[in-house]
Structure 1
Amino acid sequence: MQNELAGLRICLIGPIPPPAGGMANQTRQLKLLLEQEGAVVNMVAVNAPYQPVFIGKVPGLRAVFRLVPYLLALYRNIGNNDVCHLMANSGWSWHLFAAPAIWIAHWRKKPMVMNYRGGHAKQFFEGAWSVVGPSVRRCSAVVVPSAYLRRVFAEFATDAVVIPNVLEQKRFYPAADLNAKLRVIPAKPHLIVTRNLEAIYDIATAVRAFALLKTSLPQATLSVAGSGPEEHALKALCQELKISDSVHFLGRLDADQMAELYRSADLMLNTSLVDNSPNSVIEALACGIPVLTSNVGGIPDLVSDGVDAVLLPPGDATLFSQHAVEVLTNSRLRQQLVENGLAKTARFAWSSVSQALLHTYQTAISSRNQAGSQ
């Protein structure tokens, strides 16, 4: 694998931390892993720092100061690589960052592998496919992280290849005392939520579920790792439910801190309303943490109910609470979920993902060369 990727010149286009987030973390990690295999990765960040810095505080003007340097960086870098790998999303991000990258690669006759992610894909395509479709058709390959998104693209007559998100196995792994931990019912259960504090993740339902759980497990605590516009409302909800002393808002954590948080937990709640293939669920499974999650979007393709996670209807705090109590007080069930979850994460290992990526790159390069020779 190293010899086949070594020397391959890849223009990687996408967001990078800060701020940290699912796509930004995947982009950063992909760059590092490809470089470890010997590939030459030229990064074009869609969220490069503003120059000068104060422009970032000026609405309207800041968009120009980010977009113009981005377009120049695309034109300069795309032409000097063998293949382009674009991390793409829905909405304005598509129109401002993804579409220009695709068209510049097309004009410069370079193969484009478009890696699309995001739970809003279906709604976005239904409203904008007449504009999005021509750009997608200029891509040499479309890659998605889940079978759910492959089905969405199929509805718009577009083939997509499923290549899962990459799991950082050296960072996300179980605690040394996991087996002993699973054999006993936790006296002070520690629940966690690890999503940004945004409306689509419906963390309010997790908070309400935790408040109900406290009536059965009064020593339980909840840690919320993330930041976002819902923070004030969520803290107010905790005060209203009289659980503020048991809920800890940790803010945005780096990857190492997040891994330690997983290993300290007894259960993770994911109450999102829209989702695709969330890294947070994969990371929790890899750390040996049982997961209760809403059954939206691509999540049923990611985990199986009662096998490696518990899937529940979104927005139902009562059901989340009831099943959380059941998992926390049933050692046999908890151990089954954890063991199956750990087995599931093998498919996200870099050794597997890198082979699929290499094949996709080689196919894209070959198809572009054939098109150019006609």
Structure 2
Amino acid sequence: MIQIIKKLINKNSRFIRYCIGGGFAFLVDLSLLYILTEYVRLWYLYSATLSFVVTAMVNYTIQKYWTFKNSERKIGQQFLSFLIIQVIGLLLNNLTLYIFVEFVGLWYMLAKILAAGLVLIWNYWAGKKFVFKADAVDIVLAGEIFPPEIGGPATYTYRLAEYFLAHHINFVVLYYSYLKNKKNNGDLEKFLIRINGWLPIPIKYFIYFLRLFSRSIHAKVIYAQGPVASGWPALMVSKLLGKKLVVKVVGDYAWEQARLAHVTVSGIDDWQKKADMCSKNYFFKQKIKTLNNIERLVVRHATAVIVPSDYLKKIVLGWGADESNVKVIYNSVALKNLGTLSKAEAQEKIKIFGDLIITVARLLPWKGMEMLIKIMPELLKLNPKFKLLIAGRGPEEDRLKKIVEALKIKDKVFFLGNLRQEDLAIHYLASSIFLLNSGYEGLSHAILDAMYYNLPIIVSDIGGNPELIQDDYNGLLVEYNNASEWIKAIEKIWGNERLRLRLSANPLSKLDVFSFDSMMRETLKILN
């Protein structure tokens, strides 16, 4: 019980100090009110006003130097802000006092005590936020998702937050939370602000905007993790408060939504030229057009835009962003070093044996999983021991599983679902070849992972892939969804051990560019 009380005191020590300091100021206020009313014979509202002004000066001194231990040297400007809050408190005080005395019929001294309680709450909240800036932060991370939810953006935001915490950078993270069981993020918890992601879209966006606005008042920069769900409210807040806005863009959200709804068959490059849609639903088409416009509006008005590849830089420039404001900062590799675990030991751990081919991606229409599955019968003619491992989940999963059943290769294709980094690492070590047949990639984390584990790599020749893979140097580039070319490329690698070794040995020379320190160094240059 004693420990619980101590914990509560420590957690609320500032508010307790505020109440003690405010209590002393209240005694001064109450004493002056009584003296001026009973002995000087002033009307009680005049007495309340005079005592309030004197008390404001006493209270400011106590709260500045004892409660908030504030080092702001612009005392005149700060006191003016404090006084404005006190004046609002005075109006609240006198209004409450008048109502209780004139309408409720309370003795003015009792009414004063009740009014003081209400004013105490107002003064503490407003003083903390607007005068002494106890909750002020340097960087507001306007996120979209956060662990335990899975995905590159969640991992990226988490690693930024960890870095800021370790380096004593003042920050806060906002994000949409879709999980009921919230993971305890340890020391990070007090820096996290969750918005219920299951609320209706207008409501959750409005709440996000309000929370972002309140936490950005004293911030130096807002760093939005996307141009729509976080970037749009961040743009409005930055304009209202005159704050610096940095936006990270890792893809074209409008195009992704159109592809997921099967209202366009255009690739991302064709979409940039003309956003063709075959939907007859007027409202859905307007939604996609709105998303398109928001993306362009945000990057045009942002102070800076961060992209993870030169390919995405070209896309963002096509949206009308100023080239001088767009900075390419490669994402970093964040994998577990499992020491000397052999391929055989790794296969024993995952209980899948043979010559394993691994692909890692969300199961989306443009990720090309269908073609990889459909060429498996031909690949099995080359090597009956081939097995395809598919790591990831997505809306295409059920359809892809039906294709596997129809081809009668359930014992050759394994859907692994979403894997933790530790488990994914073991599957990489158990595999012999890495494939990524994607119709769009900004900059693939999966390719970096495969590089790290020295796998021979075959990827589609689109998007940011050629920035990582040089054909016939550290992997093979193949036309997206061209089944015959993919079969030839796999046959070429599998039939030539010397080629496999050469391709898998070369990637390490490029990985320094993707170090976490390099990413953070370049990111902080922009944020600062």
TM range (shorter): 0.7 to 0.9
**Unaligned ranges ≥5, structure 1:** 1-6, 182-186, 363-374
| Structure with the larger RCO, 1 or 2 (CA within 8 Å, 6+ apart) | 1
* Separation in 1, partners of 2:371, 2:155: 26
Higher mean C-alpha displacement, 154-163 vs 332-341: 154-163
8 Å CA contact 1:105–1:111 kept in 2: the answer is yes
- Work out which of the residue numbers 161, 168, 174 in structure 2 matches 1:38: 168
The amino acid that maps onto 1:9 is D
Q: Secondary structure at the match of 1:164?
A: coil
- Work out which of the residue numbers 221, 244, 248 in structure 2 matches 1:111: 244
The amino acid that maps onto 1:346 is D
* Separation in 2, partners of 1:48, 1:13: 16
Aligned to 2:225: 87
Aligned to 2:140: 11
Shift in Å at residue 56 of structure 1?
A: 7.1
* Separation in 1, partners of 2:234, 2:200: 20
Aligned to 1:327: 493
Aligned to 1:221: 387
Distance of aligned partners of 1:253 and 1:157 in 2 relative to their CA distance in 1, 3 Å threshold: closer
Q: Secondary structure at the match of 2:381?
A: coil
- Work out which of the residue numbers 42, 55, 66 in structure 1 matches 2:204: 66
Shift in Å at residue 153 of structure 1?
A: 2.7
Aligned to 1:158: 322
CA-to-aligned-CA distance 1:215-258 (integer Å, 9 cap, x gap): 11101111111111211111111122221111111111122212
Shift in Å at residue 176 of structure 1?
A: 5.0
8 Å CA contact 2:299–2:321 kept in 1: the answer is no
1:248 maps to 2:414: yes
TM-score where L is the length of structure 1: 0.81
Q: Secondary structure at the match of 2:480?
A: coil
The amino acid that maps onto 2:469 is V
* Separation in 1, partners of 2:481, 2:251: 20
* Separation in 1, partners of 2:339, 2:365: 30
Shift in Å at residue 270 of structure 1?
A: 0.6
- 5 Å-filtered alignment, 1:1-374, equals 9-14=138-143, 15-47=145-177, 49=179, 62-89=200-227, 94=228, 96-118=229-251, 120=255, 123=271, 131-155=294-318, 156=320, 158-159=322-323, 160-169=326-335, 171=336, 177=342, 188-362=354-528
More helix by share: 2
Shift in Å at residue 172 of structure 1?
A: 5.8
CA-to-aligned-CA distance 1:191-230 (integer Å, 9 cap, x gap): 1111111111121111123332111110111111111121
8 Å CA contact 1:103–1:138 kept in 2: the answer is no
CA-to-aligned-CA distance 1:279-328 (integer Å, 9 cap, x gap): 11111111222221111122112321111121110112222222123223
* Separation in 1, partners of 2:475, 2:162: 30
The amino acid that maps onto 2:163 is L
TM-score where L is the length of structure 2: 0.59
Q: Secondary structure at the match of 1:222?
A: strand
Aligned to 2:184: none
* Separation in 2, partners of 1:56, 1:36: 28
8 Å CA contact 1:50–1:65 kept in 2: the answer is no
* Separation in 2, partners of 1:45, 1:68: 13
The amino acid that maps onto 2:423 is Q
Q: Number of residues paired by the alignment?
A: 337
- Which structure's CA Rg is the greater one? 2
Shift in Å at residue 135 of structure 1?
A: 2.7
Aligned to 2:114: none
* Separation in 2, partners of 1:29, 1:341: 24
The amino acid that maps onto 1:350 is F
The amino acid that maps onto 1:295 is D
Distance of aligned partners of 1:70 and 1:321 in 2 relative to their CA distance in 1, 3 Å threshold: same
CA-to-aligned-CA distance 1:91-148 (integer Å, 9 cap, x gap): xxx1x43211122122212211111111557636965665544432331111110011
8 Å CA contact 1:103–1:135 kept in 2: the answer is no
* Separation in 2, partners of 1:125, 1:104: 31
Q: Secondary structure at the match of 2:230?
A: helix
Shift in Å at residue 164 of structure 1?
A: 0.5
Distance of aligned partners of 1:286 and 1:38 in 2 relative to their CA distance in 1, 3 Å threshold: farther
Shift in Å at residue 173 of structure 1?
A: 7.1
Distance of aligned partners of 1:18 and 1:210 in 2 relative to their CA distance in 1, 3 Å threshold: farther
Aligned to 2:16: none
